[in-house]
Amino acid sequence: MRRLHAPGRAVHAMAEWARQHAGIKGVVLDISGVLYDGGGDGGGVPIPGSREAVEKIKASGLKLRFCTNETQATRGKFVEKLQRLGFNISVNEVTAPAPAACRILKERNLRPHLLVHDDLVPEFDQLDKANPNCVVIGDAADNFSYKNLSEAFRVLIGLENPILISLGRGRYYKETDGLKLDVGVYMKALEYACDVQAEVVGKPAKMFFQSALAEMEVEPQQAIMIGDDIVNDVGGAQQCGMRALQVRTGKYRPCDEQHPEVKADGQPSRPLCTSGNFLIQEHVFLRIGLKEEIICGGFPTTCACKLQFVKGPCTPRYRGDSLLMPVVV
């Protein structure tokens, strides 16, 4: 076995992560900004290494669930796009806001006025939308016009008990041509105008994460969330009792690491150099898939779960049947 020499801080970090992550059985993955960036003629571009990462996680034996706030298409059409981009993913592996909202609307006999993207409307085909008694807002993109917002406002303000259901509350997201305003901005406008608090269906709502965990049949402490949104992905998962990593892709910004209220349990980093040398002083890697002893500075540290830190090269790569993901400590 290769002997890896590391400074005391890195050794301590590895041992601490091994202790914290014992018993991990499931991984919850965000999609936009983690697996791909949307936009463009092809509907998006995979983030390098993401397709292989999905395959390796599935091969590791860990349970996997995709948890997204995507509301610009039905869940079926969204999954079809991801499949065209080369991802091994099926509809029944994805937790999305629109199907969850439809269940809530049916259970409460609500008739929605929809302020959503045209491609999401078919998700609500089985619902009565005549004489609406609530408003459902999603990422409507170009449908967020003054006219459409005013119409949604008039419906809400005219109700004795106004109900606003928001499919997520994100502030912005990243596409191939840059950052875009998300549904949370327009949700806040309607909240302010109508003096109402929206019911959020989607991240960061606790119920949304609980639904994903239930599908995997794991407890919160047995799962890790990986996302690019410090508040909705990381903060939402942590409030549910999960641990969470924030990737440095998608909407990530350096200031996220100094967020006043949310601190990620780790930040997988972009490669900082092109050298293939093992630089433990700069990088620590999260390995998914194997149970092996790691030698660091002469001291063995063994992780009993399927997640463990190993020293790795400056670019993500594979060794054996395990996935190496860079993590800053």
Checking if the pLDDT of 22 tops 70, the result is no
Tokens of 260: 């006043």
259-278 in b/e burial notation, b at 16+ Cβ within 10 A? Answer: eeebbbbbbbbeeeeeeeeb
Q: How confident is residue 221, by pLDDT bands cut at 50, 70 and 90?
A: very high
Checking if the pLDDT of 313 tops 90, the result is no
Question: What pLDDT score was predicted for residue 268?
Answer: 59
Question: What pLDDT score was predicted for residue 182?
Answer: 96
The candidate with the shortest Cα–Cα distance to 307, out of 45, 89, 23, is 23
**Comparing 31-45, 184-198, 267-281, which segment has the lowest mean pLDDT?**
267-281
Checking if the pLDDT of 273 tops 60, the result is no
- Do 144 and 153 form a contact (C-beta atoms < 8 A)? no
Percent of the chain with pLDDT over 70: 74
pTM (2 decimals)?
Answer: 0.75
Read off φ and ψ for residue 238, nearest 5 degrees.
Answer: -65, -35
Checking if the pLDDT of 90 tops 70, the result is yes
Question: What average pLDDT does this structure show over 294-321?
Answer: 35
For residue 294, what are the β-bridge partners? 301
206-237 in b/e burial notation, b at 16+ Cβ within 10 A? Answer: eebbebbbebbebebebbbbbbbbbbbbbbbb
Checking if the pLDDT of 112 tops 70, the result is yes
Checking if the pLDDT of 137 tops 90, the result is yes
- Do 183 and 197 form a contact (C-beta atoms < 8 A)? no
Checking if the pLDDT of 26 tops 90, the result is yes
Question: What pLDDT score was predicted for residue 325?
Answer: 41
Read off the DSSP letter of residue 248.
S
Checking if the pLDDT of 281 tops 50, the result is no
Question: What pLDDT score was predicted for residue 16?
Answer: 52
**Cβ-based neighbour number of residue 248 at 10 Å:** 16
Structure confidence by residue, pLDDT tens digits, 99-111: 999 999 999 999 9
d(CA 171, CA 181): 6
Question: What pLDDT score was predicted for residue 39?
Answer: 85
Question: What average pLDDT does this structure show over 205-226?
Answer: 95
Structure confidence by residue, pLDDT tens digits, 230-259: 999 999 999 999 999 999 999 999 999 999
Checking if the pLDDT of 263 tops 60, the result is yes
Structure confidence by residue, pLDDT tens digits, 151-176: 999 999 999 999 999 999 999 999 98
**Helix 183-194, helix 146-157: angle, nearest 10:** 40
